[in-house]
Amino acid sequence: MTVDQYKVSDTAKIADARSLIRHVFVRNLVLMANVGIHSFEKTGTQRIRLNVDLAVRETEQPPADEINQVVCYEEITDGIKGIVGRGHVNLVETLAEDIAAMCLEDPRVRSARVRVEKLDIFENAESVGVEIERFNSRA
């Protein structure tokens, strides 16, 4: 199994018809961010890649064909851009926590899995970073 196949099969488990869970996601969002603890990371931006997987509570009936009936991935993406644009953050862990908290503000979101990767840190590694999963206590 390749790495890409593993990523797809691993995240596909989030959708679950028996539990009325829909999977909403943002894949491979690449942004410039001011993140890091080293002096060279505090003076400029660097490329990061973000992936977000949300387990969203459904109703038994399909949603009406209206955007307000679903968790909107455009709003999630805009929220991520807003968080990244706030300014310098020392740790990718902090960035991931802030993104997860933003996603969980919607009570329909039962869990949020957030991966934040720095893309240009090590010459011989595609990326380094963190992945977290947080649950909504209100869901």
As a whole number of angstroms, the distance between CA 15 and CA 17 comes to: 7
CATH number of the domain at 112, please. Answer: 3.30.1130.10
- Give the HSE-up count for residue 22: Cα atoms under 13 Å, Cβ half-sphere: 17
Compute the mean pLDDT over every residue in the chain, rounded to the nearest whole number: 87
DSSP 96: H
Tokens 């509570």 -> residue:
57
Asked if 34 and 45 touch (Cβ cutoff 8 Å), the reply is yes
Q: How many structural domains comprise the chain?
A: 1
Asked if 48 and 117 touch (Cβ cutoff 8 Å), the reply is yes
DSSP 106: S
Global pTM reads 0.86
The tens digit of pLDDT for each residue in 11-63 reads 446 788 778 888 999 999 999 999 999 998 999 999 999 999 999 988 777 77
Residue span of the structural domain in which 52 resides: 3-135
Average pLDDT on 61-82 reads 86
